[in-house]
Amino acid sequence: MLKGKNAVITGSTSGIGLGIARALAREGVNVMLNGLGDPGETERTRASLEKEFKVDVRYDGGDLSQAEACVALIHKAEEAFGSVDILVNNVGIQHVVPTQDFPPAKWDAILAINLSSYFHTIRTALPGMQTRGWGRIVNTASVHGLVASIDKAAYVAAKHGVVGLTKVVALENAEANITCNAICPGWVDTPLVQAQIQTRAAKFGGDIEAGKRDLLGEKQPSKRFATPEDIGAMALYFCSEAAHNVTGVALPIDGGWTAQ
CATH of the domain at 95: 3.40.50.720
What does each C-alpha distance from 168 to 13, 154, 181 come to in angstroms?
28, 21, 10
What gap in Å lies between CA 229 and CA 78, rounded to an integer? Answer: 27
Question: Which pLDDT score, from 0 to 100, does residue 193 have?
Answer: 80
Is pLDDT above 80 for 124? yes
* CA 56 to centroid of chain Cα atoms: 21
So what's the pLDDT on residue 32?
98
Structural domain includes residue 1:
no
Q: How confident is the model at residue 174 (pLDDT cuts 50, 70, 90)?
A: very high
Q: Total domain count for the chain?
A: 2
Catalytic residue (one of 59, 118, 155, 237): 155
Q: State how far the Cα of 29 lies from the Cα of 100, in Å rounded to an integer.
A: 45
Q: Are residues 141 and 20 in the same domain?
A: yes
Residues 97 and 200 in one domain: no
Structural domain containing residue 212: 189-224
Residue 166 lies in a domain: yes
Model pLDDT, residue 223: 94
171 and 125 in a single domain? The answer is yes
Q: Tens digits of per-residue pLDDT, 203-238?
A: 899 999 999 999 999 899 999 999 999 999 999 999
Do 118 and 14 fall within a single domain?
yes
* pLDDT tens digits along 58-98: 999 999 999 999 999 999 999 999 999 999 999 999 999 99
Q: Is the pTM of this model over 0.85?
A: yes
- Could you give the residue ranges of the DSSP H alpha helices within the chain? 15-26, 39-53, 67-81, 104-111, 117-132, 153-172, 191-202, 208-219, 228-239
- Has residue 191 got a pLDDT over 80? no
Judge if 200 and 134 occupy the same domain.
Answer: no
User: Residue 59 catalytic?
Assistant: no
What single-letter amino acid sits at 95? H
Domain shared by 129 and 180, yes or no: yes
Specify which residues 136 forms β-bridges with. 86, 179
**In this predicted structure, what is the pLDDT of residue 6?**
98
* Cβ partners under 8 Å of residue 133, min gap 6: 176, 177
Q: Is the pLDDT of residue 37 over 90?
A: no
Asked if 105 and 156 sit in the same domain, the reply is yes
Q: Is the same domain home to 98 and 211?
A: no
Q: Is the pLDDT of residue 1 over 90?
A: no
Cα separations in angstroms, 256 against 139, 155, 232: 20, 21, 19
Q: Is the pLDDT of residue 175 over 90?
A: yes
